Each structure stands twice: as C-alpha cells, then as structure tokens.
Structure 1
C-alpha cells in the first residue's frame, strides 16, 4: 500500500458514510494532480519522501476530513462564545462570593483554622470553577449543533440588556453600586432606573445565582454542607456555637435545598416568559411568605432560639446597648439584629410584591 492510499484511508475513516466515496475520489484526483505536477517539475517519479511532502502540504487527515465533513467544526463558535464567556464569568463571580462567605462562616463557628479554611476554599474554588467551565462548554457544544438556535440568540430585546451593561470583573459593578446608594456615577451615564437591571436580565442573574447556591449547598461545588460535616467546638460566653450551627443545619438542610431549587427554577421560568409582572409578583409573595416563616422558626424554635431571641422590644434595646457599652454578648446580639433586619426587609418585599400583583404594574421597570 502506497503512502497516498494510507493517507486516503485515514481521511476516509473520519468521514460519515454518506458521501464518503465521493469525497475520497475528489481528494485522490487532487493529490494525483499535485504529484503529477511535481514529477513534471523534477522530470522523474517521486521518491517516498517527496510523496510524503505532497501529502503534508495537503494537510493532516483529521484537518482535511474536517474541511469536507458536515456540521460545526468547533465546540463553541464565534456567535455563541460571548454568551459562553459571560455566563462562565457570572457563575464564577457568584461562586467566589459564596466560597468566601462559606470560609468565613467556618472560621467563625470554629470548624477550622483561618489558614486551613481559606486553603480549602481556594482548592474548592479551582475545582468547582473547572466544573462550571466544563458544564458551560458541554452546553455550548449542544447548542451549536441544534437545528434551531435558542431564542436568546435571535430574539433578544433592547430593554432586557441591563445585565450586560456590567462587564463581569469590571469597574461598572462599582458604578452600579454607586447608583444604588444614590451617588454620582464616575462614567457620567444617566440611568433612567438607577441600580436596576431590566426584569428579564435580573431574572437570569437571579436564576444563575440560586443555581450556584444549590450546587454549593449540596456539595456539588465547594465543600459539602451537611449535618455532622460542618461545625466544630466554638465556646463563646459559655455557648457552643459550633454545635448550634450543626443542629440548625440539620433542621434546615432539606427545606433550604427545596427553597433554593424552587427559586432558581422560578427565576429561569419567568426569564423565559419575559418576566410578566403578575407572575413575578405571585412568586415573590410566595417566597416572601416562606422566608418569613423560616425567620419566625429561626427566632422562636430553632436550636439558636434560646440564645438569640428576646421577648420584648425593651429586651432587644437592652441587648444592643450592652453590646455597644461593654462588648459582651457579641454573637447573640449580631445574629439577633441581622434576623430582625431580615424580617423587616422581607415584610417590605411582601407588601411590594402584593401591590404589584394587585395592580399589575411594576414600578421597578425601566422607563419606557
């Protein structure tokens, strides 16, 4: 068997059966023509090395087969790549925030030393980051080979581009944060709805964030969060906070998993529907009620309730005063205040969502 025949067999092995013979016949003719031209230049038959040089000029069999083969010749093409990159950077940003928070919590509850916590966090961040990139690449591979392109590539709307105004890891995040607190943006751009994304873009961002949270909570990315795994002895003012955290996680692990999964699915669903006002408001009402129920349980019945709860407003004030004047009861006072603020914020969220559901109008939408 000549080198040319071996070359053609290698190309043929990479081609689909349909049309393979026609492609090989066309390629053989092209190769024979090149070799005849080279023989005419030299005035003699080609040596084996010269024949191989002609084959090398034609290209590697894998590359030649790809030129003749059907379908995309890339994993993620140039049209989809910006979406792939934006999604990866957004997910990595959320992952980084969750990982840092998790490391800080582990240090506070005495689970591990600071150096060990952050070392494990970095290791988990790298491993989970590779997983996110892998999943995004597989999704891109599938989308590239779909017969009909997804609607987000072809039917996007200008009013839903608020999310993309902020390049991930860019100074625009700081500009947006400045808008939220009523400051003046450094870039001088006026936003008709300061600090707010469009409804659909916000839904996508929330869906991704809650999805990453669910993966983190289940241990699919990062360190596993389960009873008996998290928590360690941490005695403060005679209270073992590590034990309380572990017991609390034992109570909330499955409910919080269901809550996070439901929120991720809800946000992605409303993004696909164009974020209709009443549907969004209905979901916000339901999730606010669930959140208020959780906060109430945490305050009254959780393993931490006997330590953090107070019976009266005066008791609340007295504990805050004790914290500021003596520095005592730091952990119970901080958790107490955070819980109270979360309760108040959730009440306002519930009232706002109920108002939007009744009126069918969303005052948070961009002007126009």
Structure 2
C-alpha cells in the first residue's frame, strides 16, 4: 500500500545504514499484520483514512526510527529526535552568522589573526547559548500537558519512497556562507581590494560596465539558493517541493551563466606604469579566465538542475522498499 511504503521509507531514511534493511522488513511485517488483523475485524479492506489512522497510532517516522538508535538522552524519546534536528539547524545558523561576521571584519582590514581569535571566542559563547536555549524550549515542550505539536502530521503528506534527501547540513552551511558573503560583496556592504603591486608596478582590476545591466539577475542567484536551502532545513519532509526549488534555482543560475558568456568583456584592467599593450594582454588573460569560470559555473549548475529534476521526476519505486501499489 502506498501509505505504508511512504511511511516505511520515511523511517528508513533515519535508520543506520547497516541495519536499515532488516529493521524496515521487520516493521513492514508488523504493520501488515496489524492491517490484516484490522481488516479481519471489519471484514473489508481498510480505507485510506483508516490506514492513515493506524500509521499515526504507530508513531511519527522520526520517533519510530529513534527507537532503534542508541542515544543518551535527557528529553523523552517522542520529542528528542525533533530536538536533535532543531539543534542541528540552529547550530548551523549560528556558525554561519559568525563566519560571515569574520569575513566582514577581514574585508574591512582587521588583522587575520585577530579575526580568527575573535571568531573562536564569540563562536564558543554563541553556541553555548544556542544549545541552552534550544534544550530549554524542548524540555518545556516535552513536559507540557496535552498533545505535543509534533503529533500534527499525516502519513499522506510523507514523500514517496523513491525520493532521497537532497543535501546534508554541511553542504547547506557551506552554500549559505558563500551566498551571504557574495550578497554582501555584490550589494557593496563589504569590499575587497582589487589592486596589487607586482614587478611591473601597481595593477587595478575592476568589473566591466556590462555587470550593471545584470545587477538584479545576478543578485537573484544567491537569493534563490538561500531560499531553496532554507526550505530544505525548515521543511525536510517536503522532498518533492524542495527538489523543485533546487532544480529551479540551479536552472536559473545555469541559464544566466550562458547569457553572461556572450556579454563580455567582464573585467577591466588599468595601470599607471604599464603600456597599452601590456594592459591589453593582462585584460585578455583575465577575461579568458572569466569566460571559462562562467562556463564552469554554467555546467555545474546545469548538472545540479538535472540531478534535482531526476529526484523530482525519477522512477516511481526503489528496490528494497517496494513500489506503490495504490
């Protein structure tokens, strides 16, 4: 049955890989036995709502999977998996914000050693506060009377068995840091030096005027990436929607890179000591590098869009979990 397979697939994603197949098979047999027993009592097959009610009574996929993991916990087993996920998200956001602050300080000319020391000092205090605050909130939730907020879920809203998790927290953290630093630089919130002194004298490099026409389209790329990553973190169960958001963001970035390939030159070079020919040669080299950089960005984002689309429109079943029957 489709709901059962979705439910088992959601549990399997959270299980240790070495035990995943055995535990999933055990749970499938247990659920099918309960369904058969219920159908025997009613004298007819269970309807969709009745199957959903049976699965809800069995427990949320995160809570069921957690029963097979070995953790030392202070919060109850029905709430702890949600606490653990929330803690990971807030710790990731805390690290991201502190890294961005360090990048801004470096851009403003702060000594790198002082910036790193400040990062370590502030990061330790910030993460301690995050752990304490999140733990306190979930302890209150766990001991509050009445139904828990995590009971408001429906098996029919779970993703199909063949859909996989898109990104890990480290990937999302890295992408978020890169996107926010780029936005800060692109909007002028921080600036980086574009002049250096070589054997031939000082050389100044700047973005060509062509980028003025693409200011908002370029800014939309990191904003779309941030939105897609935020959706993955906030709604990890919306696998199809997050895959669509990732595919759209990557496809847009790939298309923009293709358009920019025909809009060069992308950088200008100037020098008070070099001759016209030397400046032109350096400009040609840097613009060639920019061309291949844009081409590489386009290829990478096109592959990301294809992978997200494959998850979105992939095969309707996966070995080991069975194909939907309804």
Instruction: Please give the TM-score of this superposition, normalised by the length of structure 1.
Output: 0.41
Which is higher, the Rg of structure 1 or of structure 2? 1
Instruction: Please give the TM-score of this superposition, normalised by the length of structure 2.
Output: 0.45
Identify the structure with bigger relative contact order (alpha carbons < 8 Å, sequence gap 6+): 2
